Amino acid sequence: MVEFSIPIRVYIEDTDAGGIVYYVNYFKYFERARTEFMRYLGFNKPAFLGDDGMFVVTDASAQYQRPAHLDDALTASATVTSVGGATLIFEQRICRSDELLVAGSVTIALVSASNGRPRRLPAELRAAVDKYNS
């Protein structure tokens, strides 16, 4: 499995009164990494919405190791570890240089925007993830 990563800068809006990243904002960083990964593969969110599809998070967890601070330069990464009929499972990490700050797992599912029912992942998306991971 190949890790995809993007740079993140911690802004004041991301922090609490003590200048430490507020815990929920790490999930925003995870989201940015997943979104950019999908874009890198050639699949952006509007492409799925136009076909009555949308991704929803069905499970998310995070293990906090160390805090990030105002103005830190971070790396947010996403690795697809499992592809199901309608789901992708990502292992995700937030690091400062080589220091792991947060590790997590996020499961997303493709559902119909009109009725919320699961939809099969497109063959093109499966192929792109397989090619990236090989």
**Which residues are catalytic, by number?**
16
Angle between helices 123-133 and 25-41 (to 10 degrees): 100
Q: Where are the alpha helices (DSSP H) in 6-82?
A: 25-41, 45-49
Q: Around Cβ 39, how many Cβ atoms within 10 Å?
A: 12
Residue 53 Cα distances to 14, 20, 47, 66, angstroms: 30, 36, 8, 36
CA-CA-CA-CA torsion sign (8, 13, 14, 17):
positive
